Amino acid sequence: MQEYRISDAVIRRLPKYYRYLSELEAAGIERVSSSRMSKDMNLNASQIRRDLNCFGGFGQQGYGYQVSRLRIEIMRILGIGVPHNMIILGAGNIGQALLKYRNFAAEGYTITAVFDIDENIIGKETGGLVVRPLSELREYAQKNRVDVAIIAVPKQHAPGLADELAALGIKGIWNFAPADVAPKGVSVENVHLSDSLYVLSYRIREKNEGFKR
């Protein structure tokens, strides 16, 4: 089925709708109105209706959305639940934390291999996988399906590695190195943990110093 492309801003909100609807479903709630979603999610109700209309949301005037139907539709759009094979490049702190963080696997995102260049950790087991030498990446990617490569290497190695991953035909990069990477033809999500720390730091200052509104 061919679909129309959804705007970036809407796509970024979809995971939030998904989380919210999952919580409602877990709480046994069957229907939700856009005005209730608006209050709970701190989003404008008309924006919610517009967002959900984008992909043929199932709202009915005075009746609301069917929680589980809407959740399943968003899940389908995001590709959640579809098996994704992920590999981790870099078995340092971030790499190991992601490897041990099991929540993604339940949604279909499975980590299938982990690579490093450090002789001290190559061959050792971590989070149920044996760390492979980075020199085996090419062969691994040729023999196995890899949907997402997670970059968790030091900043200076990230751009070169991203280009190598693109050359291997890997379509998705989840980049945790503090350097934006953007190889051609690859979808990239750059994760900058410090961004949210800085926003928090601003808000604390704002509170302490009582900025005018």
Distance between CA 28 and CA 37 in Å, rounded? 16
- Give the total residue count for the chain: 213
* 145 part of the interface to a second copy, by CB under 8 A: no
Decide whether 55 or 140 has the Cβ nearer to a second copy.
Answer: 55
Q: How many CA atoms lie within 13 A of 117 on its CB side?
A: 6
Residue ranges in 5-44 that form contacts with a second copy under rule CB under 8 A:
5, 11-12, 14-16, 18-19
Mark the segment that binds a second copy (CB under 8 A) among 62-70, 117-125, 134-142, 184-192: 184-192
Distance between CA 66 and CA 58 in Å, rounded? 7
Q: How far is the CB of 160 from a second copy (least distance, A)?
A: 16
* 118 part of the interface to a second copy, by CB under 8 A: no
Residues 111 and 140: beta-carbon distance below 8 Å:
no
Q: How many CA atoms lie within 13 A of 160 on its CB side?
A: 6
Taking CB under 8 A as the criterion, the residue among 96, 113, 146, 166 binding a second copy is: 96
Decide whether 87 or 148 has the Cβ nearer to a second copy.
Answer: 148
- What DSSP designation does 7 have? P
Structure-token pair, residue 150: 């997670």
Distance between CA 159 and CA 22 in Å, rounded? 36
Calculate the CA 173 to chain-centre distance: 10
Structure-token pair, residue 135: 């020199």
Taking CB under 8 A as the criterion, the residue among 21, 24, 71, 84 binding a second copy is: 84
Three-state DSSP class for 111?
strand
* 138 part of the interface to a second copy, by CB under 8 A: no
Q: How far is the CB of 62 from a second copy (least distance, A)?
A: 28
DSSP codes of every residue in 179-202:
S----TT-EEEE--HHHHHHHHHH
Q: How far is the CB of 180 from a second copy (least distance, A)?
A: 8
* 56 part of the interface to a second copy, by CB under 8 A: no
Taking CB under 8 A as the criterion, the residue among 100, 114, 143, 166 binding a second copy is: 100
* 167 part of the interface to a second copy, by CB under 8 A: no
* 94 part of the interface to a second copy, by CB under 8 A: yes
Report the interface residues with a second copy, using CB under 8 A.
1-5, 11-12, 14-16, 18-19, 77-80, 82, 84, 93-94, 96-97, 100-101, 103-104, 107, 109, 147-148, 171-174, 178, 187-189, 191-213
